[in-house]
Amino acid sequence: MRLDSEQQGWLARALAALNTGDAKRFEDSLWLGFGDGWQPLKIALVRQGYLANGDGRALTLAERGEQLLIKLAREDASQKSGSIAGLSDSTLK
């Protein structure tokens, strides 16, 4: 799986929302960006240590997730300057 620039943007929006404590907007952004594949992506993000269970069942951004958010922001900035670099699913491993 390779994330195109639009999907990278949706993932970045989702992670940023979760980073501010907005779990609803996090899930909405994943759904808008990945359609029916949003739940498997969410599960993969938890399994691979990008998201953690905070208080009770609430998800929070783990340190690894914060690093991914920074990387996505950099990718977005480089794309706006003409780069065609993509984000592969190896980033999520």
Q: Is there a domain that residue 91 lies in?
A: no
Residue 62 structural domain: 2-79
Per-residue confidence (pLDDT) for residue 80, from 0 to 100: 57
d(CA 48, CA 42): 10
Q: How many domains does the chain have?
A: 1
Asked if residue 52 lies in contact with residue 60, where contact means CB atoms within 8 angstroms, the answer is yes
Q: Is there a domain that residue 85 lies in?
A: no
d(CA 92, CA 55): 24
Q: Is there a domain that residue 33 lies in?
A: yes
**17 CB-near residues (< 8 Å, 6+ apart):** 23, 25, 26, 29
Per-residue confidence (pLDDT) for residue 59, from 0 to 100: 92
Amino acid at 44: A
Q: Is there a domain that residue 18 lies in?
A: yes
Q: Which of 16-20, 65-69, 83-87 has the lowest mean pLDDT?
A: 83-87
d(CA 52, CA 62): 6
* 74 pLDDT tier (thresholds 50, 70, 90): confident
| pLDDT tens per residue across span 38-53 | 999 999 999 999 999 8
Per-residue confidence (pLDDT) for residue 71, from 0 to 100: 92
Q: Is there a domain that residue 73 lies in?
A: yes
d(CA 28, CA 16): 12
Asked if residue 57 lies in contact with residue 42, where contact means CB atoms within 8 angstroms, the answer is no
Q: Is there a domain that residue 89 lies in?
A: no
Q: Is there a domain that residue 40 lies in?
A: yes
Q: For the domain that residue 17 is a member of, what is the CATH number? A: 1.10.10
Q: Is there a domain that residue 34 lies in?
A: yes
pTM of the model: 0.79
